[in-house]
Amino acid sequence: MTTFTQVILFTDADGRARFREQGIELGEGKPQARLSALMPSSGLQLRESPIGFRSDFHCTETPQWVFILRGRMEIGLQDGSSRIFGPGEHFYSDDRLPEAARFDRSVHGHWSRQVGPEDLVTAFVRA
């Protein structure tokens, strides 16, 4: 069975954001155009971030797919690691604040920033 690799930004048991990957089956469609099962969504939002944009540490409030349409986006984690996503790449942002926790910018969440010579354009599809 063919699969689509989903990159997931999630909150681990220790409250810290991390990345993991999992496969989504592409079991529908035809051999020349395989499809996943239909997934629900509650909205689409487009964003343009200018050169130099960088957020503070924050958690995802509502799980969402993030698709990079133009430019490059870096996501930084509390452990000092980061990943850069370019046009055509994605991640599923689901690093929500643990239940009953108060946000601690030294433990929770991630930051994002635009990198490179062009504005960052992204599409957010809420789950």
Domains of the chain: 3-126 (2.60.120.10)
The pLDDT score that the predictor gives to residue 99 is: 93
Per-residue pLDDT of 22-49, as tens digits, reads 999 999 999 999 999 999 999 999 999 9
* 112: pLDDT strictly greater than 80: yes
With a CB cutoff of 8 Å and minimum separation 6, the contacts of 14 are none
The residue written with tokens 């430019």 in the block is 71
pLDDT average, residue stretch 115-121? 98
How many C-beta neighbours within 10 Å does residue 20 have? Answer: 11
pLDDT confidence bin for 9, thresholds 50/70/90 = very high
Residue 78: predicted pLDDT:
96
- Judge whether residue 86 has pLDDT over 80: yes
pLDDT of amino acid 10: 98
Q: How far apart are CA 90 and CA 6, in angstroms?
A: 8
Residue 49 corresponds to which tokens in the numbers above? 């971030």
Residue found under tokens 């509502």: 62
Which pLDDT score is estimated for 85? Answer: 98
Could you tell me if 21 and 7 are in contact, meaning their C-beta atoms sit under 8 angstroms apart? yes
Instruction: List beta partners, residue 18.
Output: 10
Which tokens sit at 3?
Answer: 């699969």
